[in-house]
Amino acid sequence: MRGLEETQENLAKQFQQLEVALQENQLQAFRENFLALHIYEQGQFYQSLDAAKRRLVYAYLSPKELADMFDSLEDTDEMKNYLEEMRPTYAAEMLGHMYTDNAVDIMKTLPKHQLAQYLTLMDSEEATEIKDLLHYEDDTAGSIMTTEYVSIVANQTVRSAMYVLKSQADMAETIYYIYVIDQEERLVGVLSLRDLIVNDDDRMIEDIMSKRVISVHVGDDQEDVAQTFRDYDFLALPVIDYDGGLLGIVTVDDIIDVIDDEAASDYSGLAGVNVEEVYENPVKAASRRLPWLITLLFLGMATASLISRYEELVSEASILAVFISLITGTAGNAGTQSLAVAVRRLAINDDKEKTIWNTIIGEVLTGLVTGAVTGLTIFLIVTVWKGNPILGFVIGMAMMCAITVANLAGSLIPMLMDKLGFDPAVASGPFITTLSDLTSVLIYFNIASIFMNYFIK
């Protein structure tokens, strides 16, 4: 821990020295110290500067040097603002030196006129690669792949393959895997850098390559691509078209971003709020949250209306009012638990191995077990507390039934939304909780009305 603190302190001192070098026009000192930093640290320093100081950075660094640092940044919306600070020719050249997939992520956020301007100013070959990637749909393998990879042919030796690797390594995003293609540029094999190093220089590539290549289709959903990375522990995956042609590769650093984005999206859905905007303007944050809250307010009004229908029952047995929030709250918690498990199950595609009826039976049984244990617990508490076993039975039975129904709803609603083509995480926790309130009140008062004559003294 102490080592990390010292590292942070030293880094803060380096940042101060860099700022001094910027302000005092110490070009050589700034370049040496800045370029000595890790690219992540370069990005942290760059983002800590105001616009005036960042403009000095553009004067001190070449577009290529800035591109290396920009490849490490993640906030594409903020990078759009950074580009506006640069001269158009400088920005276009910098984007051209970035890895293609990263440049595409930024350029997708730009207005059409600005995008067209940068593409016009770029090298024609780089512009063509970026245009090709811009056509792919968002959240697909094509939208996150890069075209900077190393490819060789099968009918060459290890020696010649190493020559190709050395000549292409500087532009490739990763060289851990080398992909083998045929004359039509179809993917036919793969080998690792280790394979090239340990084999004799005169061995043929076709003799040492693996012909069983795990690949993803250009139109595959990025979540499915992430799942393949998780299953096989790859550092990169080739992306192919309908004819098996090699189009690009997806690297593990992009998949980490995908996993992070999908997790934030799922959590936002479960919470009913955008968790990414942690420092959002209060008015803007309120405008994002209000639609959900207003919708849930009307659903909550349905629960209030239902309770009012049992006003006579509550007036005759006022003790029932004491346990309304207990039953609705516990059922809502059970529904949220079931929802979280269901969304996770769908995310990892585990549901493909089970029919919907198996899922229903499993959730009903889970709900019955948890409901029975919880119901028995509250039965004993109420019986001892109020000295009325019939009242305890009513509360316990209502608790068991409410939990079972909430458990089933929390599981089936995401499945239904997934079948209809919607994001199952949108079946948010607040929605399931409010829906559970409605069903719990209905169950509770119906059971109470049946046994009312037995527990009213």
Tens digits of per-residue pLDDT, 111-147?
A: 999 999 999 999 888 888 888 888 888 889 998 999 9
pLDDT at 208: 95
Under the banding of pLDDT at 50, 70 and 90, the label for residue 163 is very high
Count of residues making up the chain: 457
Q: Average pLDDT, stretch 343-354?
A: 60
Rounded to the nearest integer, the mean pLDDT of the chain is: 84
Q: Average pLDDT, stretch 170-188?
A: 91
Long-range contacts of 35-38 (CB under 8 A, 24+ apart): 35/65
Q: Average pLDDT, stretch 257-267?
A: 70
Residue 294, amino acid: I
pLDDT at 59: 92
Whether the CB-CB separation of 273 and 292 falls below 8 Å is answered with yes
Ranking 86-95, 129-138, 416-425 by mean pLDDT, the lowest is 416-425
Whether 386 has a pLDDT exceeding 50, the answer reads: yes
Question: Per residue in 319-335, pLDDT tens?
Answer: 888 888 889 888 888 88
Q: Which among 450, 451, 448, 454 has a CA at the least distance from the CA of 322?
A: 448
pLDDT at 265: 63
Whether 1 has a pLDDT exceeding 50, the answer reads: no
For residue 295, give the DSSP letter: H
User: Which parts of 122-221 fold into alpha helices (H)?
Assistant: 124-134, 141-144, 158-168, 193-198, 205-208
102 vs 340: which has the higher pLDDT: 102
pLDDT at 276: 54
Report d(CA 433, CA 330) in Å as an integer.
9
Whether 428 has a pLDDT exceeding 90, the answer reads: no
Backbone angles phi, psi at 272, to 5 degrees: 75, 30
pLDDT at 219: 92
Report d(CA 93, CA 88) in Å as an integer.
9
Percentage, residues of the chain above pLDDT 90: 39
* Number of neighbouring beta carbons within 10 Å of residue 348: 12
* Number of neighbouring beta carbons within 10 Å of residue 17: 15
Whether the CB-CB separation of 142 and 247 falls below 8 Å is answered with yes
Half-sphere exposure of 361 (CA within 13 A, CB side): 5
pLDDT at 119: 92
Q: Which among 225, 123, 277 has a CA at the least distance from the CA of 103?
A: 123
Structural domains of the chain ordered from first start: 11-141 (1.25.60.10), 151-252 (3.10.580.10), 282-455 (1.10.357.20)
Ranking 213-227, 305-319, 414-428 by mean pLDDT, the lowest is 414-428
Whether the CB-CB separation of 286 and 424 falls below 8 Å is answered with no
3-state helix, strand, coil in the chain (%, to 5): 70, 10, 20
Report d(CA 106, CA 75) in Å as an integer.
9
Element (H, E) at 444: helix 429-455
End-to-end CA gap in the chain = 65
Q: Which among 274, 234, 275, 268 has a CA at the least distance from the CA of 254?
A: 234
For residue 245, give the DSSP letter: B
What is each CA distance from 339 to 256, 257, 327, 412, 427, in whole angstroms? 24, 24, 18, 8, 8
pLDDT at 424: 62
Helix axes 27-35 and 39-48, enclosed angle (nearest 10): 130
pLDDT at 416: 77
- Please state whether beta strands 236-240 and 246-251 pair in parallel, antiparallel, or not at all (unpaired): antiparallel
What is each CA distance from 105 to 101, 143, 216, 357, 435, in whole angstroms? 6, 8, 20, 42, 39
Residue with tokens 């026009």: 25
pLDDT at 88: 93
For residue 150, give the DSSP letter: -
What is each CA distance from 294 to 155, 289, 332, in whole angstroms? 66, 9, 19
Whether 217 has a pLDDT exceeding 90, the answer reads: yes
